[in-house]
Structure 1
């Protein structure tokens, strides 16, 4: 069985680190402590947070290039309750379809491109009912915890 592989980024390029040695493990842990190095992109759309990060560990289970980056859609549940009656059901439906979805990538460039595609997908999902998004954006604009 092949050992799990850990990585750091040098100029956005993944470089394998041998975490089965004390030196390698120390290098990897020290590098990963600075989360700003791992952040590829973040976007907030209404109550949704789209986050793309470098994971530092290969997530691939089978043959192929290592999957080291992930985009995740998360929903701020506190924002959902701010919506009024008719729109609560709609946002809950969108939430059940989008909240927790993930995509994985092998390179920084793929992660950036994938993040942009996911942001577009979330915007289209919210806009599919016409100008509904403008109402939600205005409602959430100045609420704590919502961007």
Structure 2
């Protein structure tokens, strides 16, 4: 079997484990797993592997938001923004979910994340997506960003 198939099978197994909240899924919810999934997402050239890896990371983030915050700290917010801006709608949906989970979970990181005007611009661009789910998740994330920083509402209006 080639590496892409093995990576896809591994990411799919992890995605299935994180789909249910159980002792096993909580035991596997580590920052190392988050970093491995992010690495697989950013390094794979096969779209199915990328989507499955980011879906797994999104599900893991819903289980333990600190994992995605660790990914943001490690790779930097610019890498996450690049993923939101330069990806298909399925990847955007999972990244928007992960960012929203991280914003809801951490008051320390929330302020830093909500100050990012680049993030707001990327989220606004998601409104142009043909996917209704992507647009809906973008609206919810934008609401979270505006709740913490009301000046972002003016910024959104100026750039929309």
TM-score past 0.5 threshold: no
Larger relative CO (CA 8 A, sep 6+): 1 or 2?
Answer: 1
Higher strand fraction: Structure 1 or Structure 2? 1
Give the TM-score normalised by the residue count of structure 2: 0.24
The structure whose Rg is larger is 1
Higher helix fraction: Structure 1 or Structure 2? 2
Give the TM-score normalised by the residue count of structure 1: 0.25
